[in-house]
Amino acid sequence: MDDREQYTPGPASGAEIRKDGEKWTLILVRELRHAPEKVWQALTEPAHLREWAPFEADGSLGTVGTTVKLTTVAAPAPHVTETRVTRADAPKMLEYNWGDHDMRWELEPFGGGTRLTLWTNIGRRFIAMGAAGWQICFDVLERLLAGEPIGRIVGPEAMKLGWQRLHAEYAKQFGIETPDGPSQKGRTN
């Protein structure tokens, strides 16, 4: 478990936001050193999702029309939502909803690996939080794909391992006030 204790997320990067009317979209991009087929498996199969995603799935997300229950992990109370896979074009595009969030994953071959892009609608107040959480999940995914799993890092555990710093960095990058005030300058925690 050594690797996990030594884990620290890098600086806030690879995320942007778009506003369309009242709708906000968080877009996260990560370049992975693994083939789209391997990344696809990690995005769709329950045993793989359990290692890195912020939810558990009770079935594969790899088939259009499938209904799967997603259970949020490390939330104050388990939040279960039923999702329907609306697009599953292996290993290129995956779309489903997670509660009231539309999730669109795009996988593009890139330099011997995969450029993974996630688009998700999210409330403006939560967009920096979402970016910080997904960045940590993507870091864990990257290690899982490399055969060096450190286990899912979500909720209170993410708080201890750099989520707050990332949240503040994204809030500043996106020009969003954080819940504890307009600025995080001078804070050391």
Distances (CA, A) of 110 to 28, 36, 52, 107, 139: 16, 9, 22, 9, 18
Residue matched to tokens 């892009």: 117
| Assigned token pair, 74 | 């490390």
Q: What's the pLDDT band for 1 if we cut at 50, 70, 90? A: very low
Q: What is the pLDDT of residues 49-69, one digit of tens each?
A: 999 999 999 999 999 999 999
Q: What is the pLDDT of residues 10-50, one digit of tens each?
A: 999 999 999 988 889 999 999 999 999 999 999 999 999 99
Q: What is the pLDDT of residues 108-153, one digit of tens each?
A: 999 999 999 999 999 999 999 999 999 999 999 999 999 999 999 9
pTM of the model: 0.90
